Amino acid sequence: MTAQTSARRGRFITLEGGEGAGKTTQIQRLAEALAAAGIEVMTTREPGGTPGADAVRALVVTGDGDRWDSVSEALLMYTARRDHVLRRIRPALEAGTWVICDRFSDSTMAYQGYARGLGRDWVERLDTLVLEGFKPDLSLFFDMPVEEGLKRAGARGGPDRFESLGLEFHETLRKAFLDIAGREPDRIAVIDALGTPETVTARLMDVVTQRFPEVAS
């Protein structure tokens, strides 16, 4: 499943972060900027993105916090992810479309690998088995204090299964994302998610245009 690089292959960009970090807004703004640069772009999310993956999403994000143990959660996430990559993400990239995804493998590493205690090695082995080396070209971690993120998430409506897991869980999650980013600085950039949406977008676009000069042109 390893992505093949060619002159016409699209770029795969993922947005990561804790609850309430503003990813949804920034995905839309990034998509608009890419389209303005003449780039064909598709947005999607995880878990989800295909009918099969959306069915898995309904199982994962609803119910009590202890509905699934960490192993079951990770297996469900990668079941959805493989279908998503095979049926939607990879075909789009091979057609030259840029794909922006709300969450990807880094979220499984952070949530199930770190915060749920599976460990890095376990998740890395699963990722290799399922995705066979397929990775984003660029991942953006939107970072903000946990209490602010949960406050923003709560303003959207009732908490989903992960939002309800408590402050300590989400503090661990933030540290996990920062550690993951520190291990792969060539792929992952940390974006300060505090400030107005316009300010955060400016930070985001600075990173994207530096990584992909064709966006600036």
Bind-site residues: 17-24
Question: Could you give the maximum distance between any two Cα atoms of the chain, in Å?
Answer: 48
CB 138 within 8 A of CB 187: yes
Pick out the residues of the known binding site for ATP.
17-24
Total residue count of the chain as it appears in this document: 217
Dist CA 113 CA 76 (whole Å):
14
Q: Which two tokens stand for residue 208?
A: 């994207």
Provide the Cα torsion 78, 182, 176, 49; round to 10°: -30
- Are 189 and 207 spatial neighbours (Cβ–Cβ below 8 Å)? yes
* Pairwise CA distance, residues 202 & 206, whole Å: 6
